[in-house]
Amino acid sequence: MDTWILVTSGASFVLLFLLLLAVFRMVHAYDAPVWYIRMTGFCGVCCLGLWWVVVFLGWVHETPQIIAMGVIASLLLYGLLTILFLFGVFGVFEASITLHILTKIALSGKEGIHPNAILSSYNRNTIVKRRIDRFLWSGELLVVGGRYRLSKRLSYFMMRERFLNILRWMFPTL
């Protein structure tokens, strides 16, 4: 039973991923959220259809209550995968700066915060300097002859950037 939960939810998620690859190459970036929701729902229905096939072909020999719990578990796992994919892939691009700005505004209370206070902390120069300092500290970058160079190490930041480049290639409209 556990295997079928993993197979049906995993197959539905792979189908979603393949549909995203195909559709996001054809739609405008503004239409992407609507298409993501449509395809997520479609693949959720496919998850149910896979369970129907599994039960119809007699590959599961359980009571109807156990099968119903398997279907629910499969849909929950599929939902978790799609949410993690949504936040893990699409939320990675600007989430951290956005969350920091919103947190700063929320912490300012009812009186609010002046735009200059945000701009002083989050202007381009400040953000770039902080990130460069972080890369230097972690050993990602080296200063050679007054110029920045990548170190030859394999690290989280490099793997993350390579992964994001692959995603940008697969989803060019985002």
pTM of the model: 0.55
Residue 103 pLDDT: 72
Please, what are the averages of pLDDT over each run of 10 residues along the chain (174 residues)? 91 93 80 84 93 90 90 94 80 61 77 82 76 78 84 66 75 66
Report the alpha-carbon distance of residue 65 to residue 91 in Å, rounded.
37
**Beta-bridge mates of residue 147:** 144
pLDDT value at position 110? 81
Q: Quick check: 5 and 77 in contact, CB under 8 A?
A: yes
Give me the residue spans of the domains in the chain.
Answer: 2-90, 134-174
